[in-house]
Amino acid sequence: MSFAGNYVERRIRKNTFFKQINMLIDWSEIEKEITPKITSKQTKLKKNKKRLILQRSQKIIFTVKNKILKYSFTD
């Protein structure tokens, strides 16, 4: 058997396995349970990301202002 033949055979076995799993499991019930949790975590992450960006930008602005002030007083 060639390398390509072996690869194709493994891929076919995987696809057959996943098809059998899809026939056994009712994914709609699982999706109903998981979806609200995922969306709530995504909104929390978005809020935290915005907060982090705001904090970092304020820190950068503060640092730049301090450097400008230090430079102007040393002149």
Task: Please give the structure tokens belonging to residue 63.
Answer: 């640092």
In this structure, what DSSP letter does residue 25 have? S
Domain segments of the chain: what residues?
Answer: 3-74
70 vs 74, residue with greater confidence: 70
Rounded CA separation 46/72 (Å): 39
Diameter over CA atoms, the chain: 80
Q: pLDDT tens-digit profile of 7-28?
A: 667 777 778 888 888 888 888 8
Q: Which uninterrupted H or E stretch holds 2? A: none
Check residue 1 and give its pLDDT.
60
Q: pLDDT tens-digit profile of 40-53?
A: 777 888 778 878 88
pTM metric for this prediction: 0.36
Check residue 52 and give its pLDDT.
80
Query: What number of residues does the chain have?
Result: 75
